[in-house]
Amino acid sequence: MAISAFIVPVPSAEPLVGDLRRRFDATTQLGVPAHITVLVPFMDARQITPAVLERAQHALSRVAAFSFSLGTVARFPTTAYVAPKPSEPFVRMTQALVKAFPDFPPYGGAHEEVIPHLTVADGDAFKAAAAAAELQGRLDASGAVKADCTSVVLIENSTGRWEKLHVFHLARAAGVG
């Protein structure tokens, strides 16, 4: 089945995390950019109609564009990631989409709490620890990555690679974008 996902691409993070992601996160080989996931899994791409896109846009319109930074390295057991600050707008977008599409809970309902994050390494605790240590050194040297969230992208993997399906623009906020 070809699933889809809502993400916030973070191109400004690529210089910091790109090579680490290529080494430690298999999704990069499938076309997934540095990003913060808003909702995965979402429906089969073949079921996404203009009405679905309209409902998603309406849900996402509840959150205005915002600025955030990536400066804190954190871990799940087999994952290293950078946490966005603030994280609340990402959580609000997830909650709005889940309210609009209750059949699609975040991560298939596997986790009770939504923890926004930009994955750098995934799948192996040892590799995640190595990536986290290297990433922390880089952040100590360069400082946090600054970014703006002005849109959410719906991606899908019907071809075996993740491709952009639709872009949802957020309402403009003063000083953002």
Q: pLDDT digits over 109-140, tens only?
A: 788 889 999 999 999 999 999 999 999 999 99
Answer whether 0.85 is exceeded by the pTM: yes
Q: Between β-strands 118-122 and 35-42, what pairing exists: parallel, antiparallel or unpaired?
A: unpaired
Delimit the domains of the chain by residue range: 4-169
What is d(CA 53, CA 64) in angstroms, rounded to the nearest whole number?
18
102 cis-preceded (ω within 30 degrees of 0): no
pLDDT value at position 59?
97
pLDDT value at position 174?
67
pLDDT value at position 93?
98
Q: Do 133 and 121 touch, CB atoms closer than 8 A?
A: no
Q: Do 59 and 176 touch, CB atoms closer than 8 A?
A: no
Architecture of domain 4-169: Alpha-Beta Complex (3.90)
Segments of the chain with pLDDT less than 70: 1, 174, 177
pLDDT value at position 112?
82
Distances (CA, A) of 168 to 33, 36, 95: 17, 15, 16
Contacts of 162 (CB under 8 A, 6+ apart): 5, 27, 30, 31, 32, 155, 156
pLDDT value at position 172?
86
Dihedral over Cα of 76, 141, 33, 25: its sign: negative
